[in-house]
Each structure stands twice: as structure tokens, then as C-alpha cells.
């Protein structure tokens, strides 16, 4: 019963802190100091002397500042890495009005610290508090209870409404937990199972090949991606949080069980569990591509017809390989988007990130594949409505819908027509914004049946007209009416040959076909 009491007060403590911090979200400002480690100038090498500001497109986005300390350096200086608006879809940390630098991760000789805050340019003055910057072990139950007893004086800005709701909800929660624990203990006693003394689960295997981490190239809610040197090769290391263990396990099995060797599938090196500071970290080590994701490439580049065809052909080729069942089962990606497509040095693409994928082998349980996964913006209508059929082809059609959106993104950055080209926009961004909810996408895609705009300048172009028709047949409302990945690839090959015939003799030499039907 004492254990039940501790757990109950722990839940009450967490709920109280969460609601306290949630009240801070009402006062956010959408201006932050902006500093980019790859594009620093003389006036912006440190948040204190930086005059560059960033206007957050999402008014709810907090500001952040990221510091990195290299323990292998001579002076072990803590240096600012980047700052600006926090663009993640979900901010699961507790926000403050001031930017307190807190320890985030320790990986080999690199320590990263981050602060998040709300308020006008709140990330300009970073507070270095050694108490919160030191790595701490998980809070024990007794310590948490003692903290609760010592901090029973509520903040001065609590409303009377919270005084009533929080205790009531806490009491209900405590009663529920006590009832649950009583029933659980009763069942255990009836079956004569001991409450303690059960053997601990076996520790996961740890593989520790040497790897030199160079710099962080991406970060998100899943963890970080580092550029690194592994077995004398430049690689990308995706370090996944413990909460992403299932995604790591899925991606490891997809790569290992089915040996995905294809020019348009990201080259896989290893999947490892690393023990850092007594914590298990889950790593996926893959080939490194300096251009980054297709999203990043399109954001900073306007492309010509040759690049448009090569990017699109290679993506369709990679998806065709995933979907076909020759020498391997059909694999549905289930989180297909431009962020999960990487651009290679020859301006073709490879598909990456298989943490949500599903392989339809003989032992596949299709019921498990029916869960609503993926990025909301790229979800097909049947996924948004929860009406997925049990057939393998139905799951593959979900990828085709997302393929149509990715092809539209590529087309929107083509500069070979008279159509105006503004800043890069994600599909439906002009309708649902940067962080849409499921209900936003259901209303847009299913109820209003909207799709990204196809400009008349594109449909009047002799080559892009067929490209637009292909896109529209990919994002059809009915899954059975969509093209297959192979059909998309065949159409793009034909459009590439039409492009070659369309060009005059002087230009033909620049667009001859290389291997695999790509233009060179």
C-alpha cells in the first residue's frame, strides 16, 4: 500500500507541474534570435551580439539556443552552435520565460546543451546554471515525494480554476491507482506469484565499433543525426531516443532481413546499441549524402527539366523496388515524404527511414499494419479516415498518394515555365499551415477533397503536361484508381525520352541517356 501511495503522489506531482508549465504557453512571442552554425557572419557569432532575428511562422513556437562542448579540445570551450525558432511539431519540454541552458546528451567527447523559452527574443540571454547543466540520474520516487512536500506553495499566478480542477483530478487519479494496485496485488496473491525477486530482463547486446563523430547535421523529435567517420567512411549516424526503440527495431529488421541493395535505397552500414553514460542509445548508421533531404534541396534550389526528371525517376525507381515482391516480400514504406528522400551527388535520389515500414511476408500480420502511422500532411484519405483495406495493394497505394505529393513538390521548384516561383512550400501548407492536426487534414483532403494547386503554366508545357497528369493519378481519392509505382516509373521514362526529342540538336548532347534511363 505504501508503494501505491508513492506512485499516486508521483502522478499528482507530474500533473501539477505539467499544468503549471502549460499556463506559460499563453504568453509566447514569435520573434527569436537566429544564428546558424553553417552561415555565421561577423555580427552573429554569439547570441549576445547577434542582431539577426527570426520570425516564427508558428506563433506557438518557442525559441531555442544550442551549445556544444568538445571535451577533446584543448580548452573544452562551450560554444554556441545554433539558435532560432523551435520547429518541431510537438514541444514536450517544460518551457520557461528565461533561457536556462540544460544538459541534453553526452556522446563520446561531445556534450550538447539546449535551452528553450517563451517571450520576445528570450534566447538572446542564455543563463548558465551549473545546477541544471550537470547530468543527473533519474529522479527516485522518494526524492520526488520530498520535492512535492517542499514545494506545496502554489505560484502566485495560478487561477482559482486550477486550484479546484487539479486537486479534484489528482484525487480521482489516486483513487483509480489505488483500486488498480489492490486488484493487481489480489490477482498476484491468488496465483501465488512473488511480488519481488523476479529475475531482471536480459540486457541487450552492446556493439561498440569505433566511430568518430564530427558534427550534428539534423535534429528532431526522434533524436539527432551526426556526420561521422565509421570504418574509414563518411557516414550519417541517426541516434534515436529510447522512446523510438520500436522504430529502430523495425528499420534494423527491414535492412537486415531483406538485404535492400538498390541504387535508389539508402545504403545501410549497421544498426547498433550503444552504451553512453549508462544509457542505451539506438543507432542507425547509413551512407552520408551532403545535399541532405529532398526537402532541404528544394528549399534552396530552383531546378531545370533535366533535374526534375532525374529526381522523379530515381524516386519512382526506388519505390518500385520496395513494392515489388521479387526475391523479397513487398514492403510498404508508410511514412513516405520528401524529408525521407535524400539527394545524391549525381542529383538522383535514394529513399530512407524505414522505421514505420511493413514487409508483407508469409508471417505478416496485416492487422498490425492498420495503425494510423506516418506524417499527417502526407496521409492518404483512407488513412485519415481509418478505412484501410486488408489487401497488400491497399497499403502500397498509400505510398503512391504520398508519391504524388512529393512529385508536386519537385514540380513546384521547376524554373522552366513562366509560372512564378516563390519560397518552397510543403503540400497543403497554404491551406493548413506548418503544423496541421488530423482533423485539419481530414477536412482538407477527405471532406473538401482539395489537392495542391496545378498551375496552368505547367499543364500548357509540352513535357510537364504529362507530368501533371501522372501526379493527379497518384493522389486520386479512391485508392484503387491510383497508379502503381511501376506504372509511374514507366511513364516518367517515356516523359524523359520525350524531353530528349523535344530539345534542339544543341541541347540534345547535354541530355543523352545514361544508365538506368537517367539523363546525363
Asked if residues 377 and 436 have their Cβ atoms less than 8 Å apart, the reply is yes
Give the largest Cα separation in the chain, rounded: 87
Tens of pLDDT, residue by residue over 64-101, are 888 888 877 767 777 888 888 887 655 545 577 888 88
User: Which is more confidently placed, 407 or 280?
Assistant: 407
- Delimit the domains of the chain by residue range: 31-37+47-128, 208-288, 292-506
Q: State the cell numbers at 54.
A: 527570426
pLDDT digits (tens, 9 = 90+) for 242-267: 888 999 999 999 998 888 899 999 99
Q: Which of 465, 477, 338 is nearest to 397 (CA)?
A: 477
Q: Mind listing the pLDDT tens digit for each residue in 113-147?
A: 888 888 888 888 888 877 667 654 444 444 443 54
Residues catalogued as catalytic: 335
Residue 177, CA distances (Å) to 1, 6, 12, 432 in order? 11, 11, 11, 40
pLDDT in tens, 310-366: 999 999 999 999 999 888 999 999 999 999 999 999 999 999 999 999 998 877 766
Asked whether the whole model's pTM tops 0.75, one would answer no
Which of 131 and 156 is assigned the larger pLDDT?
A: 131
Query: Could you tell me what percent of the chain has a pLDDT over 90?
Result: 41
Q: What CATH fold (topology level) applies to the domain 208-288?
A: Phosphorylase Kinase; domain 1 (3.30.200)
pLDDT in tens, 157-212: 455 667 777 888 888 888 888 888 877 766 555 444 433 333 444 444 445 678 89
pLDDT band at 378 (very low <50, low <70, confident <90, very high): very high
Q: Do domains 208-288 and 292-506 have the same CATH topology?
A: no
CATH classification for the domain delimited by 292-506, as one of 3.90.1200.10, 1.10.510.10, 2.40.40.20, 1.20.210.10: 1.10.510.10
Q: What is the 3-state secondary structure (H, E, C) of 352-416?
A: CCCCCCEECCCCCCCCHHHCCCCCHHHCCHHHHCCCCCCCHHHHHHHHHHHHHHHHHHHHCCECC
**Is the pLDDT score of 24 beyond 80?**
no
Domain 31-37+47-128 top-level CATH class: mainly beta
Amino acid at each position: 500500500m505504501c508503494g501505491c501511495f508513492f506512485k499516486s503522489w508521483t502522478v499528482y506531482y507530474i500533473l501539477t507541474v505539467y499544468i503549471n508549465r502549460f499556463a506559460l504557453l499563453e504568453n509566447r512571442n514569435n520573434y527569436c534570435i537566429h544564428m546558424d552554425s553553417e552561415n555565421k557572419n561577423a555580427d552573429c557569432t554569439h547570441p549576445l551580439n547577434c542582431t539577426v532575428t527570426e520570425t516564427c511562422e508558428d506563433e506557438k513556437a518557442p525559441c531555442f539556443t544550442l551549445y556544444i562542448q568538445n571535451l577533446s579540445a584543448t580548452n573544452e570551450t562551450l560554444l554556441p552552435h545554433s539558435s532560432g525558432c523551435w520547429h518541431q511539431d510537438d514541444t514536450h519540454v517544460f518551457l520557461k520565460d528565461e533561457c536556462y541552458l540544460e544538459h541534453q546528451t553526452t556522446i563520446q567527447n561531445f556534450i550538447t546543451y539546449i535551452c528553450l523559452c517563451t517571450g520576445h527574443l528570450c534566447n538572446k540571454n542564455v543563463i548558465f546554471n551549473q545546477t541544471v547543466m550537470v547530468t543527473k540520474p533519474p529522479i527516485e520516487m522518494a526524492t520526488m515525494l520530498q520535492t512535492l512536500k517542499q514545494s506545496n506553495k502554489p505560484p502566485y499566478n495560478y487561477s482559482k480554476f486550477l486550484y479546484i480542477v487539479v486537486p479534484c483530478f489528482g484525487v480521482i487519479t489516486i483513487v483509480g491507482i489505488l483500486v488498480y494496485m489492490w486488484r493487481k496485488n489480489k490477482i498476484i496473491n491468488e496465483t501465488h506469484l512473488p511480488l519481488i525477486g523476479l529475475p531482471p530482463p536480459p540486457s541487450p547486446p552492446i556493439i561498440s565499433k569505433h566511430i568518430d563523430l564530427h558534427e550534428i547535421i539534423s535534429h528532431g523529435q526522434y533524436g539527432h543525426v551526426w556526420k561521422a567517420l565509421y570504418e574509414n567512411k563518411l557516414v550519417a549516424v541517426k541516434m534515436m531516443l529510447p522512446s523510438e526503440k520500436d522504430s529502430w527495431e523495425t528499420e534494423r529488421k527491414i535492412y537486415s532481413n531483406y538485404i535492400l541493395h538498390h541504387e535508389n535505397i539508402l545504403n545501410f552500414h549497421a544498426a547498433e546499441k550503444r552504451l553512453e553514460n549508462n544509457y542505451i542509445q539506438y543507432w542507425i548508421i547509413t551512407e552520408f549524402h551532403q545535399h541532405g533531404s529532398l526537402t532541404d534541396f528544394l528549399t534552396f534550389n530552383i531546378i531545370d527539366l533535366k533535374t526534375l526528371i532525374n529526381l522523379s525517376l530515381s524516386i519512382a525507381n526506388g519505390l518500385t523496388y520496395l513494392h515489388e515482391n521479387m526475391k523479397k516480400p513487398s514492403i510498404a514504406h508508410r511514412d513516405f515524404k520528401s524529408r525521407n528522400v535524400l539527394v545524391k551527388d549525381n542529383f538522383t535520389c535514394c529513399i530512407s527511414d524505414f522505421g514505420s515500414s511493413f514487409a508483407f511476408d508469409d508471417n505478416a500480420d496485416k492487422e498490425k499494419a492498420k495503425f494510423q502511422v506516418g506524417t499527417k500532411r502526407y496521409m492518404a484519405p483512407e488513412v485519415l479516415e481509418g478505412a484501410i483495406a486488408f489487401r497488400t495493394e491497399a497499403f502500397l497505394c498509400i505510398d503512391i498518394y504520398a508519391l504524388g505529393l512529393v512529385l508536386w513538390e519537385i514540380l513546384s521548384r521547376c524554373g522552366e515555365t513562366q509560372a512564378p516561383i516563390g519560397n518552397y512550400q510543403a503540400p497543403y501548407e497554404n491551406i493548413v499551415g506548418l503544423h496541421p492536426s488530423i482533423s485539419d487534414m481530414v477536412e482538407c483532403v477527405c471532406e473538401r477533397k482539395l489537392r495542391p494547386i496545378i498551375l496552368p503554366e505547367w499543364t500548357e508545357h509540352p513535357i510537364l503536361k504529362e507530368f501533371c497528369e501522372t501526379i493527379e493519378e497518384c493522389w486520386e481519392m479512391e485508392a484503387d484508381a491510383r497508379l502503381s509505382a511501376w506504372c509511374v516509373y514507366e511513364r516518367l521514362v517515356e516523359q524523359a525520352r520525350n524531353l530528349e526529342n523535344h530539345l534542339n540538336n544543341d541541347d540534345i548532347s547535354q541530355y543523352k541517356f545514361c544508365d538506368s534511363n537517367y539523363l546525363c
